[in-house]
Amino acid sequence: MTNRWPVAELRAALDALVPGFAVEVVAEIDSTNTELMRRARAGGAAPVLLVAERQTAGRGRLGRPWQSAADGGTAAPDESLTFSIGLPLAPQDWSGLSLAVGVSVAESLDPHGSQLRLKWPNDLWTVQDRKLGGILIETALPQAAAAQRYLVIGIGLNIGPRDAAGLGTAPAWLREFCPDAQAPQVLADIVPPLVRSVLGFGEHGFAAFAEGFAARDALRGRDVRLSDGTEGHCEGVGLAGELRVQTAAGLQLVSSAEVSVRPSGGVAS
């Protein structure tokens, strides 16, 4: 099944952006993020797109597992899309990178902005507050004195129907609003613009993506509750990608990767 992926097309598109960009597809792996982080810690710093049809130990933010429809082995691998991109990057400021990645993916999947929202800091939600996908960003220093960190961006998307069992947030899937969506074509549609966006982030930081995020911000203007118990009213994100929450004690700026947030009275994040 791995030969159904548009490897040559993607290699050509990515090589034009970053010479030597490799494209690999595997039938099964523990986690595409884990694999690229392993390679980076062993000194590997090559630009690569790694796609897995199934992950046996997919990971999400805050140490949570990431499970795709295909991971149990019963559903067709085409019901989900799981991949990671690894490349060296040296932005002046890493703040807001997951938001910029979300903006790029959402704009590729939903150019008119009628279906997808972005839930700070790393979730793709539908307009009904259901989770279509997630983003997991990690970095490593390939060599002790390396000038650039190696960035690993992992993305998981539900393409076909996804069982809600065990999920804190009701799942959504792409075929609900793109009935013909197939994982290989979705990959070809989102990855080259995403790599362009990441290179743009490396040059200019989050500022260039702030407007795109604000247009899809799922929390702005809503009452929210943080995982530390703080409650307040979300005023959107600032220019460094921090969440702005007006609380009884004043404006709180949330940038910690350890904090999660959800709409009050809504679904869990």
Among the residue ranges 12-20, 51-59, 205-213, 243-251, the one whose residues contact ligand BTN (CB under 6 A): 51-59
* Binder of ligand BTN out of 39, 55, 87, 125 (CB under 6 A): 55
Contacts (CB under 6 A) with ligand BTN, residues 112-151: 122-123, 134-136
Q: Based on the shown chain and the rule CB under 6 A, indicate whether residue 61 belongs to the binding site for ligand BTN.
A: yes
Q: Which is nearer to ligand BTN, 84 or 115 (CB)?
A: 84
Length of the chain: 269
CB of 54 to ligand BTN, least distance (A): 11
List beta partners, residue 88.
150
Q: Which is nearer to ligand BTN, 86 or 205 (CB)?
A: 86
Question: Residue of minimal CB distance from ligand BTN?
Answer: 134
Residue 32 found at the interface with ligand BTN (CB under 6 A) = yes
- Among the listed residues 141, 160, 157, 137, the one whose alpha carbon sits nearest the alpha carbon of residue 149: 141
CB of 137: closest distance to ligand BTN in angstroms?
Answer: 9
Q: What angle do CA 41, 73, 156 make, to 5 degrees?
A: 50
Q: How far apart are CA 126 and CA 124, in angstroms?
A: 7
Nearer to ligand BTN, 197 or 269 (CB): 269
Q: Of 66, 150, 209, 213, which lies in the binding site for ligand BTN, with binding defined by CB under 6 A?
A: 66
Question: What residues between 2 and 31 interact with ligand BTN by CB under 6 A?
Answer: 31
- Signed CA dihedral, 99, 152, 95, 254: sign only: positive
Residues numbered 217 to 256 that lie near ligand BTN (CB under 6 A) are: none
Q: Of 10, 70, 79, 84, which one interacts with ligand BTN (CB under 6 A)?
A: 84
Nearer to ligand BTN, 59 or 244 (CB): 59
Q: Would you call 38 helix, strand, or coil by DSSP?
A: helix
Q: How far is the CB of 144 from ligand BTN (least distance, A)?
A: 26
CA distance 123 to 170: 12
Counting residues that bind ligand BTN (by CB under 6 A) gives 21
Closer to ligand BTN by CB, 65 or 221: give it: 65
Q: Which is nearer to ligand BTN, 82 or 197 (CB)?
A: 82
User: How many degrees, rounded to 5, is the angle at CA 152 between CA 147 and CA 157?
Assistant: 160
DSSP 194-248: HHHHHHHHHHH-THHHHHHHHHHBSSTTSEEEETTS-EEEEEEE-TTS-EEEEET
Tokens representing 66 are: 């990431």
The reply on whether position 156 binds ligand BTN by CB under 6 A is yes
3-state secondary structure 159-188: CCCCCCCCCCCCECCHHHCCCCCCHHHHHH
| Residues engaged in binding ligand BTN (CB under 6 A) | 31-33, 55, 58-61, 64, 66, 82-84, 122-123, 134-136, 154-156
